[in-house]
Amino acid sequence: MTIHEMPVKWDAIQFLPDESVWMIPRSTYQGYEIVIAGQPNQPDPQLLEFAKRVIDDRERWTSLSRGFLWDFMDRSKFPPADEDWYADAFRFESPDIFTIEFSHVADPYGLWIVELHQSRLREEDPDSYAVQEFRRRNH
């Protein structure tokens, strides 16, 4: 197991009162944040289980989202060509929808947010999600 494959420490979740969300912060072993909506006394149980399923398959969703961003972006404006989008955070604030926040070395002032919704083909694959939208937010 490499350092990037370390399991998520779900017991490290903490409430952020200023944002009214629960978060597992990034660490040496986990290069991204996980943010889950909930009440001050606990994260939303349904969203917590949803987050666990998505994070277990995070490479699938980050790959899909990166592909979507590269299909939209002009690669010549994001040199060097070997750099890629870095998944900074996964957010779970409503059922069957999650967002992944990306940054890119060539765009240090922007945060790219890809929103995925559960696919309409739910019967065929209940854990299938498709990119619904993306947006850029300046830091």
Q: For the segment 9-59, what is each residue's pLDDT rounded down to a tens digit?
A: 999 999 999 999 999 999 877 889 999 999 999 999 999 999 999 999 999
Q: For the segment 58-107, what is each residue's pLDDT rounded down to a tens digit?
A: 999 999 999 888 887 777 776 666 678 889 999 999 988 999 999 888 77
What is the Cα–Cα distance from 52 to 62, expressed in whole angstroms? 15
Identify the CA nearest to 25 among candidates 38, 14, 40, 17. 14
The DSSP call for residue 71 is: H
Q: Is 107 helix (H, G, I), strand (E, B) or coil?
A: strand
What mean pLDDT comes out for the span 112-126? 73
In degrees and rounded to multiples of 5, residue 48 shows phi and psi of -65, -45
pLDDT score for 97: 92
| pTM recorded for the entire structure | 0.84
